[in-house]
Amino acid sequence: MKFYQLILVFAVLSILSLFVGVQDLSAMDLFHLTKEESQTLFFSRFPRLLSIIMAGMSLSICGLIMQQITRNKFVSPTTAGTMDWARLGVLISLLVFASASPLLKMSIAFIFSLAGNLLFMRILDRIKFNDTIYIPLVGLMLGSIVSSLATFIAYKYDLIQNLSSWLQGDFSLVVKGRYELLYLSIPLLIIAYLYADKFTVAGMGESFSINLGVKYKQIVNIGLVIVSLITSITILTVGMLPFLGLIIPNIVSIYRGDHLRKSLPHTALLGAVFVLACDILGRVIIFPYEISIGLMVGVIGSAIFLFMLIRRGRYA
């Protein structure tokens, strides 16, 4: 798919997202907005649209970075357990700091997710697999252990409802004043673009990177920090969006190749388009009710993931 085609689809879905919802709002109403329509547009629809775009772009780039530094097409914040570690961090912040600010919660979630990523990379260094499918399975098992631990702690301290709020992504609660933390992901995406060539070299292996004068471990750590920060910000703001960072980079690599700098803009834009499409679909399937974005992305994303597993010889 050409980049201008992606931009066109992105523009159409963005406009459509502003006018799909329980509150009647059409393009013609923009010229004579009532007070209620104005509040709906600027306090709900625009924040929702911006949060969808930033979350879709950010998590897609996270998946691209993780796949590059691990040299495995099936690794992402979902299959590496990054999201589960971040969710555990949010739960711990609720226990230790009951009235913690969103920034403090994000910091604690970041520490846990970074620790989880480092542990995952250490396990990969210790255990070598010939089949690329086994590596994400290790991450999924590790994430399941962390998720079980978080659930146990939540039940023990009567926080299971709080934990459930981060179990599935949901944009229906995004309003002005509750999504601005996502803006922190923008400079992180810029840093990712600036380090794109080094991530590409690091994806060729440690010895190859060192021979080219690239500090392999430093670049890998920078990538893990970016992934951990973005994952923590997204989970704290809109919840978990499973498989997004897995399927989008794989789709882009089919027609753009594995050069990170060239594929990064396509990955970011396609991620935003995918989340926009899932969100709009979730709003209209059982209208006037709404299916959470986490469920929509999970169902569609898992179906695509299953297809890639079956056709792993082609995509690996």
Q: Give CA–CA dist 194/65, Å, rounded.
A: 12
What average pLDDT does the segment 205-215 reach?
81
Sole residue written with tokens 């509150």: 23
Q: If you ran DSSP here, which 8-state letter would residue 288 be given?
A: T
Quick one: which of 212, 238, 187 has its CA closest to 61? 187
Question: Into how many domains does the chain fold?
Answer: 1
| Confidence class for position 316, pLDDT limits 50, 70, 90 | very low
pLDDT of 166 = 62
Q: Enumerate helices (H) and strands (E) in the chain, giving the number of each.
A: 15, 0
**Among the listed ranges 19-33, 73-87, 183-197, 267-281, which one has the minimum average pLDDT value?**
19-33
Higher pLDDT residue, 171 or 37? 171
Q: How many CB atoms lie within 10 A of CB 256?
A: 19
pLDDT of 228 = 92
User: pTM of the predicted model, to two decimals?
Assistant: 0.87
pLDDT of 315 = 44
What average pLDDT does the segment 201-216 reach?
81
Q: Position 39: which residue type? A: Q
**Number of alpha carbons in the 13 Å side-chain half-sphere of residue 312:** 12
pLDDT of 54 = 92
Q: Residues with Cβ < 8 Å from 90, sequence gap 6 or more? A: 105, 108, 109, 166, 235, 236
Provide the CA 89 distance to its chain's centre, in angstroms: 17
Mean pLDDT taken over the chain: 83
Specify the CATH number for the domain of residue 239. 1.10.3470.10
Full residue range of the structural domain in which residue 57 is found? 3-315
pLDDT of 275 = 92
The two structure tokens encoding residue 43:
């306090």
What average pLDDT does the segment 82-110 reach?
86
pLDDT of 129 = 59
Q: Where are the alpha helices (DSSP H) in the chain?
A: 3-18, 35-40, 46-70, 82-96, 102-126, 134-156, 160-164, 185-194, 196-202, 206-211, 216-237, 244-256, 260-284, 293-310, 312-315
